[in-house]
Chain A
């Protein structure tokens, strides 16, 4: 929970989900699912997948969409072309950010939004003298997982 909480704090979330652990993966159960009794033996996935612990917490797409819907989380909004570059793994130049929710401050973490949905997250930093949203996770990961799976 420590890594998950740290990640949530980083993007300005007030969420405090009750997490179910399966190996390094973290899940949360809807109230409906939480009321049901089910076997834990051989269980590998349950309810809403939040992400997994590695060196840092790797958020799931599901968690990112939940955070996108939460007021108060820090967000940068992109147009289609910039969002596509981001899901291809690229960092985003500051001038390609269309709109910011919250204040853009160096060192802070931001959800990267396109058309009202979250396509990943990154950290606002300086790279070779240029200010960018450094890509820390993007949805192109689904394709990269297929490639490596």
Chain B
């Protein structure tokens, strides 16, 4: 029997997830979720408008301004309210990242791989459009999307820089850094994932992520907080990177509570430090979100 590359990949990765404690099918989906843009409106005002248009909304209990949305006859990504920037389409686990960073108006925040700007606009909203938010991305095409999002969402506390986040000199240090690192992604949000991904990609991404982590530590002021996030289920890009960070930098992990599961402390038979359980994972089978990983560290 001939097995396609896609089928072989699928089996390979699903076997890995089973070894990590999750029997995934590879067909899990995540619902459409909106985030109310509090820079421009309130939850109550937007809910009244959207429900009046026939949209069914259900609050996501662990999100401050996130609602699962069932469309009714029109695209939520092309309504007048969307174009006015009253809400964004942003998956639940992704929304939890900026919420966990918990920036405030007194912070100077860096979003290291910012485009297309879903989390950047969320950070600006949490900061009440005050303080100072730096957004960096290496890809000018994606920065274009970031700029459009900042404009649409009414963000005015942000500076956007084009360049490689590992080498760009921004001339300042930051109290909070979001490193939503380029990663292998996951099959829930990418239907071609099993066809296009291999373990080599995972290893290559893990190396890039370590370079970005070094840059993040350099930019963080002492006592500052880094939130590391990926939408990858692969431990090489997640717990193993965090273990490397703890070994090589002066940082402490901060426990992340809420929905989802603790970080892994054993990966494919390899024991990791117990403190890695302070990291946080979203799994597609138990959380009905995309695969997502979060780690919060403080520079000591």
Contacts A43-B159, A46-B159 given; does A119 touch B152 at CB 8 Å: no
Closest to B156 in A: A48
Residues of B within 8 A of A83 (CB): 80
Instruction: Report the interface size class on chain A.
Output: 20 to 34
Q: CA–CA, A63 to B84, complex, Å?
A: 12
Instruction: Report the interface size class on chain B.
Output: 20 to 34
Say yes or no for A32: interface residue by CB 8 A criterion.
Answer: yes
Would A119 and B80 count as touching, CB distance under 8 A?
Answer: yes
Say yes or no for B102: interface residue by CB 8 A criterion.
Answer: no
Would B151 and A61 count as touching, CB distance under 8 A?
Answer: yes
Would B160 and A45 count as touching, CB distance under 8 A?
Answer: yes
Interface members, chain B 87-136 (any A CB < 8 Å)? 130-132, 135
Closest chain-A Cβ to B108's Cβ sits at a distance in Å of 8
Interface members, chain A 14-50 (any B CB < 8 Å)? 30, 32-33, 36-39, 41-49
Residues of B within 8 A of A33 (CB): 132, 156-157, 159
Residues of A within 8 A of B151 (CB): 49, 60-62, 142
Residues of A within 8 A of B172 (CB): 38-39
Interface members, chain A 46-90 (any B CB < 8 Å)? 46-49, 60-62, 65, 80, 83-84, 87
Closest chain-A Cβ to B80's Cβ sits at a distance in Å of 6
Would B168 and A42 count as touching, CB distance under 8 A?
Answer: yes
Closest chain-A Cβ to B106's Cβ sits at a distance in Å of 11
Would B169 and A61 count as touching, CB distance under 8 A?
Answer: no
Q: Which of these binds chain A: B64-72, B139-147, B209-217, B279-287?
A: B139-147
4 additional A-B residue pairs with CB within 8 Å, beyond A39-B170, A139-B84, A143-B78:
A37-B171, A39-B169, A61-B85, A61-B151
